[in-house]
Amino acid sequence: MKAALPSHKERVQSAVAVVVGSALEWYDFFLYTLLVGSVMSASFFPATDQFAGTVAAYATFAVGFVARPFGGLLLATLSDRFGRKRILVVILLLTGGSSCLIGLLPTYASIGLAAPLLLLFLRIIQGVGAGAEFAVAAVYAVETGAARNSGVRGALPATGVYAGMLLASAALGVFSWLTGPAFADWGWRIPFLFSGLLLLAGVWIRRNLSESQAFHAAQVLQPDATRKSTAVRALLRDEWRGVVFVVGAQFAQAGLGFLFLTFTSYYLTATLGMPRAVALHATLIAAAVAVVTAPLFGALADHIGVRRFFMVALLFSIAASVAYFPLTATRSPTLICLAMVLTIGIGVNGLLAVQGALFSAQFPAAVRASGVALGRELSTAVVGGLTPILAIYMLRGAGATGVAALAVGLTLISLLTVTFCHGKNTMRHGA
């Protein structure tokens, strides 16, 4: 059954809600990402061994990823059953609420081992929400637009992701400047607490959305007696090829995205001896470029084909990954910014911008959010969570060449998947 095309007003409302909601969501997530290698390791773990503290802090980062596929599948399945709108609100409450509480946590010096344990718990809650955000938001964005514009609509969450990253980077820059030396002691808490105001705004925006008409059409086609248990069973029984496709295609974006975002702070400060401000400014500039280019990439994908554009972005990401370390090794702030723009602002952003359209097209509406979330978050949990830790060890053992080889290897897995695993395009049929 073909879903009726949403009105212009509904398309505009859904676009604003997806971008703004994703921006607020990923503000919380990237805030922790940018601080994990510096402030979080010093505040919540013993100071006796700096390297061990850094690895332990990155372990809390990885644990959040372990929760992602479970939370993603749970919440996305609920969105396939009860609607996208309700779950988009729940996701904000989970991630935004946990972020606020991180800003209130006592440090290791105050309560000892309880500090990292509480941080670990909140990271799990944050991971549960983050695991479903992109999938549900991307599916909702694509379903509330015309099939011919799936690239542009699917790029909306990516625009929000980088807007949130931009906001998080800007907040850290402003508050680190305002608090000065006190930033490492208590100033870092202010951006986390500020997310409470953003959370209220995001919930208000998303609760006023209209439900996806494709979701309503899928409910009509699905009998009430089987609706409760069909989603996961049908996904694993009938749509496993789509899940495998998404898992493999996601390797590059998950690995490179969190490698260059999370690892950059540690690499530039601890290895190259650069000021933290250089890493922040480079991230800020890369995010600004990504906010502008994400919708342009989506439009270009609509013109040349989503899958074809994705493959071009993979090839570009390989080249950018190889160039990253020679550029940063110069210790030139300008070339460091260029390295971040090439890897994050263009390469990874090109992959993320078209994921919404490419991944949503692999599944019918009845299991669309579940399929995207399961495949994407399984890959992200393993690759995104472990890559920064592996990069630290490879840097110590093989140097920058080893880290570059890791990035290229992850990208090649995605390239092989997209090349040889031919996916569906259910979106052209409107279901």
Measured between alpha carbons, how far is 74 from 63 in angstroms, rounded to an integer? 17
- The pLDDT assigned to 75 comes to 93
pLDDT tens digits, residue range 18-63?
888 788 878 887 788 777 767 777 777 766 666 666 777 777 777 7
pLDDT tens digits along 370-411: 999 999 988 988 888 788 888 888 888 788 889 999 999 999
Calculate mean pLDDT across residues 152-164: 91
pLDDT band at 12 (very low <50, low <70, confident <90, very high): confident
In Å, how far from its chain's centre is CA 246? 15
Q: Is 110 exposed, middle or buried (0-12, 13-18, 19+ CB in 10 A)?
A: exposed
98 neighbors 129 (Cβ within 8 angstroms): yes
CA angle 158, 161, 167 (to 5 degrees): 140
Q: Which residue has the tokens 């955000």?
A: 133
Supply the CATH classification number for the domain 8-429: 1.20.1250.20
Q: What is the pLDDT of residue 230?
A: 56
pLDDT at 8 over 90: no
Instruction: Determine the Cα–Cα distance for residues 33 and 64; give it in Å rounded to an integer.
Output: 11
Q: Is the pLDDT of residue 70 over 80?
A: yes
In contact, 29 and 91? CB cutoff 8 Å: no
- The mean-pLDDT minimum among 2-11, 239-248, 252-261, 295-304 falls in 2-11
The percentage of residues in the chain with a pLDDT greater than 90, rounded to a whole number, is 33
Q: Would you say 239 and 359 are in contact if contact means Cβ atoms under 8 Å apart? A: no
Distance CA(411)–CA(315), nearest Å, equals 8
pLDDT in tens, 330-354: 999 999 999 999 999 999 999 999 9
- pLDDT surpassing 70 at residue 108: yes
The pLDDT, as a whole number, for residue 302 is: 94
Report whether pLDDT(325) > 70: yes
Domain boundaries, the chain: 8-429
